[in-house]
Amino acid sequence: MIHSLFLISNAGDLFLEKHWKSVISRSVCDYFFEAREKAVEPDNVPPVIRTPHHYLINIYREKIFFVSVIQTEVPPLFVIEFLHRVAETFQDYFGECSETTIKDNVVIVYELLEEMLDNGFPLATESNILKELIRPPTILRSMVNTITGSSNVGETLPTGQLSTIPWRRAGVKYTSNEAYFDVVEEIDAILDKSGTAVFAEIQGVIDACVKLSGMPDLTLSFMNPRLLDDVSFHPCVRYKRWESERVISFIPPDGNFQLMSYHISAQNLVAIPVYVKQNISFFETGSSGRLDITVGPKQTMGKTLECLVVTVHMPKVVLSANLSATQGTYNYDPVTKILVWDIGKLNPQKLPNLKGSLSLQSGAPKPEENPSLNIDLKIQQLAISGLKVNRLDVYGEKYKPFKGVKYVTKAGKFQVRT
């Protein structure tokens, strides 16, 4: 199972190590550093690295490499999922998962890692249970602790850890009971030069914030559950009822969690809310080029496009851009070669346009690769797939909770080829 964990900063600084079995010398990370150097970009470091005696499985999150060492045959996905869980737990506990916060909270980090894995076997990875075992640091609590001399560590057996609903602790109490759901859909798409979708799909998630007392049993139903044929559920969801009745029945964890994720790939269901007319060309001589981009609304179901941002990855030889935007601001970073045009809200009456010239390194040949555009956008109060929640019922408890559903659509990996 998982033998050791090393945390390495983007700069190559190994700042934390944890061993769950015998101690493995940190020199094993040299193989990682070698791969890291070879990959150039941190994102391109291969997730599984083979060394003569160990395997290094790593993820890159928030500018930190989480490098785990394994010695025997362990499913790599198991390790990667666990590392994600570690990163999420840090995020949850410290508000952000960065080198500084981890160093600031090193004892809690150590205690957490000790609770999460025993001899390499996952022990407690549910945030609910962990929070019962080790309380997250807050300014208030550390003050209280210093005054009263009490500690961060829970004194009781975590109640959820052994029940058949390990995700929920017992005896939850709220004065106002509320259950909110966010339906968030991201459109992943590749559009070709002419604007036709080569590939488009929707990645949806339903995030929940449930603060209900006792042991509520919830049922969430949809107006159009047929849309969902490819779903992944939080362990709390009763799969059998979904299979037979297409409703989501569950006893929720306490607080924030992701209830389900889904995937819609049927082309006719994926609406493309935006179109882009673009022309980026380079001249054979004169070391210059021209850029002209216009963005307009397509299938928006009557909603407004917000937070519209166009990002262009320019070829390496592009030195600067002299452009003018009819709306929003643009910025070209000559180091990363990324042009960002922040448009904001889209006004369908007056389409935003960015136009001007690009100057290239003098004497450089016409670039070989085509730059590609990335679109970011947001549509409030709309799930682009048309998914709609019908109702939420609470069983097992007597109170009437506040309920609410919010919809939002975003661009995921939304790419336009030139």
Partner 1 sequence: LKVINCCVWDPSGEIFELKAELNSDKKEKKKEAVKKVIASMTVGKDVSALFPDVVNCMQTDNLELKKLVYLYLMNYAKSQPDMAIMAVNTFVKDCEDPNPLIRALAVRTMGCIRVDKITEYLCEPLRKCLKDEDPYVRKTAAVCVAKLHDINAQLVEDQGFLDTLKDLISDSNPMVVANAVAALSEIAESHPNSNLLDLNPQTINKLLTALNECTEWGQIFILDCLANYMPCDDRESQSICERVTPRLSHANSAVVLSAVKVLMKFMEMLPKDLDYYGTLLKKLAPPLVTLLSAEAELQYVALRNINLIVQKRPEILKHEMKVFFVKYNDPIYVKLEKLDIMIRLASQANIAQVLAELKEYATEVDVDFVRKAVRAIGRCAIKVEQSAERCVSTLLDLIQTKVNYVVQEAIVVIKDIFRKYPNKYESVIATLCENLDSLDEPEARAAMIWIVGEYAERIDNADELLESFLEGFHDESAQVQLQLLTAIVKLFLKKPTETQELVQQVLSLATQDSDNPDLRDRGYIYWRLLSTDPVAAKEVVLAEKPLISEETDLIEPTLLEELICHIGTLASVYHKPPSAFVEGSRGVQHKRLPARMGAGLGVAPAAMPASLGGAPAVGGGLGDLFDLGGGVGMPTGSYVAPKTVWLLAIKAKGLEISGTFARRGGIIQMDLSLTNKAMSVMTDFAVQFNRNSFGLAPAGPMQVLTPLSPNQTIDVSLPLSMSGPVMKMEPLNNLQVAVKNNIDVFYFSCQYPLSLLFVEDGRFYRQVFLATWKDIPNDSEAQFQIKDIHLNSDVASNKLQGSNIFTIAKRTVEGQDMLYQSIKLTNGIWVLAEMRIQTGNPNYTKTNGFRDCMQKQMYDSTSVVRFSSK
Among 28, 97, 109, 375, binds partner 1 (CB under 8 A): 109
Q: Which is nearer to partner 1, 141 or 345 (CB)?
A: 141
Chain residues 119-148 in contact with partner 1, contact rule CB under 8 A: 119, 121-122, 125-126, 137, 142
Chain residues 277-306 in contact with partner 1, contact rule CB under 8 A: none
Chain residues 218-277 in contact with partner 1, contact rule CB under 8 A: 229-235, 239-240, 242-243, 258, 260-261, 263, 265
Strands (E), 109-174: 117-118, 121-122
Among 10, 34, 46, 361, binds partner 1 (CB under 8 A): 46
Neighbours of 69 (CB within 10 A): 26
- Segment contacting partner 1 by CB under 8 A, of 151-159, 212-220, 345-353, 396-404: 151-159
Contact residues for 407 (Cβ-Cβ < 8 A; gap 6+): 182, 183, 185, 380, 381, 382, 383
**Contact string 320-359 vs partner 1 (x = CB under 8 A):** ----------------------------------------
CB of 88 to partner 1, least distance (A): 12
Is residue 256 classed as helix, strand or coil in its secondary structure? strand
Q: Which is nearer to partner 1, 119 or 357 (CB)?
A: 119
- Segment contacting partner 1 by CB under 8 A, of 42-50, 321-329, 347-355, 386-394: 42-50
Among 8, 28, 29, 59, binds partner 1 (CB under 8 A): 59
Indicate the residue type of 260.
M
Nearest Cα neighbor of 187 from 24, 5, 410, 405 is 410
Q: Which is nearer to partner 1, 72 or 324 (CB)?
A: 72
Tokens of 276: 């882009």
Element (H, E) at 79: helix 76-94
Q: How far apart are CA 123 and CA 116, in angstroms?
A: 5
Among 10, 138, 151, 322, binds partner 1 (CB under 8 A): 151
Among 12, 26, 329, 380, binds partner 1 (CB under 8 A): 26
Count, residues near partner 1 per rule CB under 8 A: 96
Q: Do 276 and 337 touch, CB atoms closer than 8 A?
A: no
Among 8, 32, 36, 55, binds partner 1 (CB under 8 A): 55
Contact residues for 73 (Cβ-Cβ < 8 A; gap 6+): none
Q: Do 114 and 19 touch, CB atoms closer than 8 A?
A: no
Nearest Cα neighbor of 405 from 232, 253, 218, 239 is 218
CB of 366 to partner 1, least distance (A): 11
Chain residues 82-101 in contact with partner 1, contact rule CB under 8 A: 82, 84
Phi-psi region of 36 (alpha: psi -120 to 50; beta: other; left: phi over 0): alpha
CB of 400 to partner 1, least distance (A): 30
Among 11, 140, 155, 335, binds partner 1 (CB under 8 A): 155
* Strand 353-360 relative to strand 288-297, pairing: antiparallel
Tokens of 348: 């369908």
What's the burial of 139, exposed, middle or buried (CB within 10 Å: 0-12/13-18/19+)?
exposed
Among 127, 278, 287, 415, binds partner 1 (CB under 8 A): 415
Among 11, 23, 140, 335, binds partner 1 (CB under 8 A): 23
Q: How far apart are CA 195 and CA 415, in angstroms?
A: 10
Q: Which is nearer to partner 1, 157 or 301 (CB)?
A: 157
Chain residues 176-195 in contact with partner 1, contact rule CB under 8 A: 188, 190, 192
Query: Rule CB under 8 A: is residue 398 a binding residue for partner 1?
Result: no
